[in-house]
Structure 1
Amino acid sequence: MTMPTFLMIGGAKGGTSSLYAYLRQHPEIFLSAVRECDFFVLEGQTPSFRGPGDQIAFRRYITHLDRYQALFTGAGDRPAVGESSDLYLDGQGAAGRICHYLPEAKLVVILRDPAERAYSQYNHLVRDGREPLPTFEQALDAEETRIASGWHPIWHLKARGFYAAQLQEYLDRFPAEQISVHLHDDFTQDPWAVLRALFRFLGVDPEFRPDTSLRYNVSGTPRSRLLHALLAQPMAVKDVFKPLLPAAFRHRVRAKLMNRNIVPYGTTMAPATRAGLIELYRQDILRLQGLIQRDLRAWLET
């Protein structure tokens, strides 16, 4: 059975939804149709996350090896075969399981300013109608209680931002040349440069130019919550039409409709809140600079 040659392991709200859509356009790349299957976090487990709406995600989780391998049955002879699960970067035990099953896999990481990522993650939950608390600050204060109560890691707004510690788990197990780390700012400003670097990293034609005109999984406020729910949530009626339409076409149409229905959230993070998060992450950011050899001073600015 086919297993992936590369994994997109995160991080959260770093642009991986868009990156996935762009990479899968390449004729030499096969990406599984299921995103966020989280196999290497949940192998052999029965997920029981208890946060609002967490149960909706259960349908996409894959916890057994045979079902995981089945994700790649259509790969054919394409040289780059992969999947994308943001939880792998910070998911407990993921690095060890990936090393066990895929010791030669190439790993793709894209990182966003951790304070901005936390704020975007909160607004993602607000967008989807799941966040019961009215302010970002209240959600930050509730995090420890939510973790203790078994809520899905998507609710771990602060905990998911310690990238140096998370990345070290992989550097302890994989050669550095098997890990390609990029920054969200670079991807936003010049997606083609990041894509070309990744094509080279994955060993496919670096001159192929995918359509990057659409952004995917954008945070914001839905004009119509009903339309957003219809587009975003798994539904049995949608499963009927899936075999009739190519996955790439479905994803593109869905993204267009979602983007038209989303308006940017009208508030920005309070300066005092950002300052507090910067202090929380400061030592990890400084350590990360050394690990990836990038200047991250902008992440330390209030």
Structure 2
Amino acid sequence: MTAHPLQKRPDFLLIGAQKAGTTSLFFDLRAQPSLFVPDGKELRVLLEDEDDRVRALYERHFAQAPAGQLRGDCSTDYAKRTEHPGVPERARRLLGADTRLIYMLRDPVQRLLSHHHHECNRGEPLPLADALDAWPRLVDNSRYAFQAEAWLEHFSADRLLVVFFEDFVRDRAAVVERCCTFLGSGFSPEAVGDAVHNRSSGKARADAPVQRLRKLPLYQSVVRPLVPLELRLKIVRALSPKAPKRASTLDPVLQERVNAALAPDRERLEAMLGAPAPWASAR
């Protein structure tokens, strides 16, 4: 039986991909006057197993949403089906079939390298060759067709918009406008920013003490609700050491290994899109 959709629910989801520019897109969507996106990119509401918990969290996050604004929830965890199975089915059941989905993709090898760098900065410094065995998520989260197929089992294809990080870098406003058009909302070009958020190479690394601080009840109950997200990010960067630069290329052996792992998915993605991805010519 299909549950009745929530009254206070997101009209759209930005589902990923991780390390594909979604933080910058989140800020740009949040700045649009026609959209209401809560303060905090990774709400992760749909990871909750209990429907009542999902309902309560959305009621809280969207309580202040003005009438007439479309509501959005953004989390890259929504496109990590091996780590978080069941999210698309839960979204369909609780949010309804009309929910729109935005999925921003990046060259899958570059995304994988950035993801590996991110994991190492969190305190797990495995060489990439070992990490590919230890962390299947590095490859799985770059298998974009595999991730999208889970959503298309529950939503029609016209509810999914795929945009590309490479296009976003080249013409940021055009990608944001395309998202707004897809959502059926107004577009304000002056609200599009130029800041790059969450770049891994050379950015501040949230080391263990900072991560522990962010998990404290006082932080969750007082600091997070009262201090704007942009200011919280500045504080974290100020308190954290700088991350080392990441490699932008693979050695030939690893390149062949990664390409072999991603090739079947790349073919399915291009069939799904009906056109080659922007990075296809670089392969």
TM-score, with structure 1 as normaliser: 0.78
Residue 56 of structure 1: aligned partner: none
Aligned to 1:97: 90
The amino acid across from 1:131 in the alignment is: E
Kindly tell me the number of residue pairs found equivalent between the two proteins: 271
Deviation, 1:80, is 1.1
Residues 214 and 256 in structure 1, CA contact (< 8 A), matched pair in contact too: no
1:165 aligns with 2:155: no
Are residues 174 and 220 of structure 1, via their aligned partners in 2, closer, same or farther at CA, if it must alter by over 3 Å? same
Which digits, 9 at most, give the CA deviation of each residue in 1:135-164, with x for residues without a partner? 1111112236xxxxxxxxxxx111222211
Distance 2:262 2:248 in 1: 23
Matched with 1:50 is: none
69, 87, 103: which one pairs with 1:79? 69
Deviation of the 1:78 alpha carbon: 3.6
Kindly indicate whether the alpha-carbon contact (under 8 Å) linking 2:205 and 2:240 is maintained by their aligned counterparts in 1: no
- Tell me the secondary structure at the aligned position of residue 186 of structure 2: coil
Match of 1:24 in 2: 30
1:82, 1:195 → 2: CA distance? Answer: 14
User: Residue 158 of structure 1 aligns to a residue in which SS?
Assistant: helix
Matches within 5 A, 1:1-302: 1-44=7-50, 64-91=54-81, 92-102=85-95, 103-128=97-122, 130-133=123-126, 135-143=127-135, 156-221=137-202, 230=210, 234=214, 236=216, 238=219, 240-245=222-227, 247=228, 249-250=230-231, 253=234, 261=242, 264-265=245-246, 268-296=249-277, 298-299=279-280, 301-302=282-283
SS in 2 for 1:290: helix
Residue 88 of structure 1: CA displacement?
A: 1.3
AA in 2 matched with 1:101: L
8 Å contact from structure 1 (residues 7, 108) kept in 2 = yes
Q: State the one-letter code of the partner of 1:93.
A: G
Structure 1 contact 118–161 (Cα < 8 Å) conserved: yes
SS of the residue corresponding to residue 12 of structure 1 reads coil
Following superposition, the deviation at residue 66 of structure 1 comes to 1.1
Q: CA deviation at 1:230?
A: 3.8
Task: Supply the AA of the counterpart residue of 1:291.
Answer: M
The CA deviation at 1:268 is: 3.4
Indicate how the Cα distance of structure 1 residues 140 and 300 shifts in structure 2: closer, same or farther if over 3 A, else same.
Answer: farther
Q: Which amino acid aligns with 1:141?
A: D
- Contact map agreement 1:163 1:284 (CA 8 A) in 2: yes
Query: Which ranges in structure 1 are unaligned for 5 or more consecutive residues?
Result: 46-61, 145-155
Query: Could you report, residue by residue, the CA deviation over 1:217-244 in whole angstroms, capped at 9, with x for unpaired residues?
Result: 1112457776x96489615465544455
CA 1:39–1:301: 2 relative to 1, 3 Å: same
Q: Please give the secondary structure, in 1, of the residue aligned with 2:161.
A: strand
Q: 2:4: which partner in 1?
A: none
Amino acid at match of 1:29: L
Q: Does 209-218 or 256-265 show the bigger shift? A: 256-265
Specify the SS of the correspondent of 1:201: helix
Residue 178 of structure 1 deviates from its aligned partner by 1.4
| SS of match in other structure, 2:163 | strand
Residue-by-residue CA offset, 1:91-136 (whole Å, 9 max, x unaligned): 31111111111221110001112222111101012223x2142x11
After TM superposition, give the deviation of residue 251 of structure 1 in Å.
5.3
Compared CA separation, residues 262 and 78, structure 1 to 2 (3 A): farther
Structure 2 portions without partners, runs of 5+: 1-6
Contact residue 10 and residue 86 of structure 1 kept, 8 A: yes
Compare 6-15 and 199-208 and name the one that shifted more.
Answer: 199-208
Give the Cα–Cα distance (whole angstroms) in 2 for the partners of residues 212 and 256 of structure 1: 20
1:209 is paired with a residue whose SS is helix
Aligned residue number for residue 3 of structure 2: none
Structure 2: distance between partners of 1:189 and 1:251: 28
Quote the Cα distance in structure 2 between the aligned partners of 1:260 and 1:27. Answer: 35
